[in-house]
Chains A and B, each alone.
Chain A
């Protein structure tokens, strides 16, 4: 499948999911909990995908469709920034907490996703190796 086609289809799924979760996840006293959850789950997912892709023969279109398309569109930086400014105007401390959690947990979750994926895939390969040996 074509890369662009896969990214487009993934983009629809990711964007619509972000929109859908926005309706489901509450915003306690105006705190953008939906975007926080979406960005952190997406960071974990993209780290995991990269770990899987690095240790398996994943097709480039599939990796692009899921990574660049679906997860990339699911998470958002623009709404994060605009939402932070909006939150800061009513509650500065909440805005600070929002930014701090996003920036610390985002990269850490991406790292743990990648590590976990590499660990699981390598362990599976070892098991298969032992069985076939």
Chain B
């Protein structure tokens, strides 16, 4: 297996994770509701970015796609926090937790679909 691949993805993911932490801390200061706006925005924006990179970079520049797409977008967005926050929110507000889960998915899928149509 090519060693460069996991290194590119690893470094991109690490930058994505730090960016996610930064955005999360910032949104946490602004957002005073129970709704996890930080993760919601991160996941939606990261999905749109990955859609764009898939379209423009994946075949044109595979190494750059590994760094920015699989790496950065993959590390920036997160499914585990979505799962955990859905459970946490469910305890406080059941309906809002379902809205959180399904709106993340819905908006993410629509954006990925729209960008894909563009091709």
**Contact between B17 and A76, CB atoms less than 8 A apart:** no
A82 CA to B77 CA, complexed, in Å: 12
- Count of B interface residues, CB-CB < 8 Å: 52
Cα–Cα, bound, A80→B108 (Å): 9
CB of A39 to closest CB in B, whole Å? 4
Contact with B along A8-24 (1 / 0, CB 8 A): 11111111101110010
- Count of inter-chain pairs, beta carbons less than 8 A: 183
Contacting pair B76 A78 (CB below 8 A): yes
Count of residues in A whose CB is under 8 Å from the partner chain: 50
A52 CB, min distance to chain B CBs, angstroms: 13
Which residues of chain A are within 8 angstroms of B109 by Cβ–Cβ distance?
81, 84-85
Decide if A81 touches B111 in the complex (CB within 8 Å). yes
Is B27 interfacial (CB-CB < 8 Å)? no
Which residues of A, 84-106, contact B by the 8 Å Cβ criterion?
84-86, 99, 102-103, 106
Out of B13, B90, B102, B104, name the residue touching A77 (CB < 8 Å): B104
Of the stretches A25-33, A109-117, A119-127, the one at the interface is: A109-117
The docked-state distance in angstroms from the alpha carbon of A4 to that of B54 is: 28
Inside 8 A of A82's CB, which chain B residues have their CB? 47, 50-51, 54, 112, 116
A11-B13, A11-B17, A76-B79 provided; 7 other pairs, C-beta below 8 A? A19-B66, A72-B75, A78-B108, A79-B50, A79-B74, A85-B113, A103-B101
| Chain B residues close to A by CB (< 8 Å) | 1, 5-7, 9-18, 20-21, 24, 43, 46-47, 49-51, 54, 66, 70-71, 73-84, 86-87, 90, 101-102, 104-105, 108-109, 111-113, 116
A–B pairs, 16, beta carbons within 8 Å: A11-B18, A16-B9, A19-B10, A20-B1, A43-B80, A68-B17, A77-B77, A77-B79, A78-B76, A78-B108, A81-B112, A82-B47, A85-B113, A99-B105, A107-B101, A110-B87
